Amino acid sequence: MPGSAEDRPVSTPAGSTSTPAPVARRRARWWWIVAIVVLLLGAAVVVAGLLEHRAWVRTVAEYDAEVARVTDEAKNARDRAEDAYAASVDALDETIDDGRSVRAASKGQVADRGIRKPLAAALDDAEQLRDTEVTYPVVTRTVDEVVRPNPFRPDVLPQVEHDVVGGSDPAPADLDAAVDDVAEASAAVAESRRQWALDELAPATAEGRDALTDLSDQVGARALGPLEEAVTDAEAILDAGTDAVDPDETVALRDLLLDTTESVWADRLADIRTERRQAARARGVDCRKDKCVALTFDDGPVPDTERLLRILDRKNAPATFFMVGDNVAARPGIARAVVERGHLVANHTWNHPQLTTLDDGEVRDELRRTQDAITDATGFTPFLLRPPYGAVDGNVRTLATRTGLDIVLWNLDSDDWGTRDPKKIRRHVRAEVQRGSNVLLHDLHPTTVDAVPKIINDLRKEDYVLVTVDLLVAAGGS
């Protein structure tokens, strides 16, 4: 019920008797607040102090570690610097030796100066660096002073200084860079040298392969075995390509190929000569006893060669024709007629250069093309070469042998190319001829062809026996 006794007595007596009580209570409340604030502040101070302490402990640990590191460095830096320098200088020394040997081996092989020059420069730099006297400069390492920022617990970690070997001069990094430079330049030279070796091997392999083809039906398989093996090895290397090449082995194989090709052909050429001399003796011609003379005609075949053939036919006189390959290709029918009449056809190069002025590849080309042209035209493969102008040296001789050709010059120059006069040519030959004469003539000049009938008559009157040039005992001449 509203307005009951319980509502009123509570408020009225209480209101009158507790007038001082709310003030005290309010004051107490304030004290509580102050106390709580003080407590909170205190807690904050404690937490801040703890955090500061932890940070300081960390700072001290770092400082101590740094001091320990610098102290340790001061103790061991010299040893470490010496070890580092020694390792780098050893590597450099080794690289210099390698670079030197690559450079020495490439001499006369790698012609490109743009490849050899950088190696020379890198080696010079590297040697200079290696020979520089090494020093170990000392530097001062400082660990800075640290001041504790806490005003309640001030503290200072003092600055520490140590003299320390800071490394070497020259520095290992400089030596390492020199190693890289030499190695890079060496690699370029070595690569170039491998390519050179392959370029050397290729023509030798082709020569060997040609010899195998040329000789396969003339020489037993046993005699060709070593050459066959060398060619097979060489072809495997050529197929494998540059990266797999060992230049020294490749060059050795090239030399083996060249030597083997040369010796197989030299044997075969000696056999050809023997066989032909035996066949001549069977026909009653023996230049060890007979007064043999060989008429040789150079520079054809030309149209006038046919007239010469008719003369020789009429006189039943054998002759030797040193043909120019270019002319054979132009007049294969005349070349074939020469062989069919029983004369000897020989190689006089493709287009009549002075062989001693050409490089090996060009000489090979001159000889090989002519061999092929004559074989194609006549079915006969020459085994004699007369180098134009008689220009020959050891190298041309070797190249000729490896192409299956013996060199034959002359020992009686009719001077037909100079006089161009049949009477003078005839007189000259008659005056100079002797047993074993190898007479130089040219079917190229009509005046020479005009002189031939009388030259033959003269020789026969003197009991000379006309033979092909290979039958002369001293066929080489001067």
In the complex, minimum distance from the CB of residue 456 to Zn ion, in angstroms, rounded to a whole number: 22
Distance CA 421, CA 446 (A): 9
Under the rule (CB under 5 A), what is the footprint of Zn ion? 298-299, 388
Pairing of strands 138-143, 160-165: antiparallel
Residue nearer to Zn ion on the CB measure, 224 or 409:
409
Residue nearer to Zn ion on the CB measure, 260 or 296:
296
- Residues with Cβ < 8 Å from 87, sequence gap 6 or more? 172
Question: Which own/partner contact pairs does 416-425 have at CB distance under 8 Å and 24+ positions apart?
Answer: 416/440, 416/441, 416/442, 416/445, 416/447, 416/448, 416/451, 417/442, 417/444, 417/445, 419/447, 420/445, 420/447, 421/447, 422/447, 422/448, 422/450, 422/451, 422/454, 423/451, 425/451, 425/455
**Residues shown for the chain:** 478
Residue in 181, 442, 450, 470 annotated catalytic: 442
Distance CA 334, CA 353 (A): 23
Q: Is 391 helix (H, G, I), strand (E, B) or coil?
A: coil
* Contact (CB, 8 A) for 455 and 294: no
Residue nearer to Zn ion on the CB measure, 123 or 302:
302
Which alpha helices (DSSP H) does 133-171 contain, by range? none
Distance CA 448, CA 134 (A): 84
Residue nearer to Zn ion on the CB measure, 324 or 399:
324
- Residues with Cβ < 8 Å from 395, sequence gap 6 or more? 356, 360, 363
Distance CA 355, CA 374 (A): 19
- Known active-site residue 442: yes
- Known active-site residue 348: no
Residue in 214, 298, 413, 450 annotated catalytic: 298
**Which residue has the closest beta carbon to Zn ion?**
298
Residue nearer to Zn ion on the CB measure, 325 or 388:
388
Residue nearer to Zn ion on the CB measure, 200 or 298:
298
DSSP 8-class letter at 287: T
In the complex, minimum distance from the CB of residue 272 to Zn ion, in angstroms, rounded to a whole number: 23
In the complex, minimum distance from the CB of residue 307 to Zn ion, in angstroms, rounded to a whole number: 19
Q: Which residues are designated catalytic?
A: 298, 442
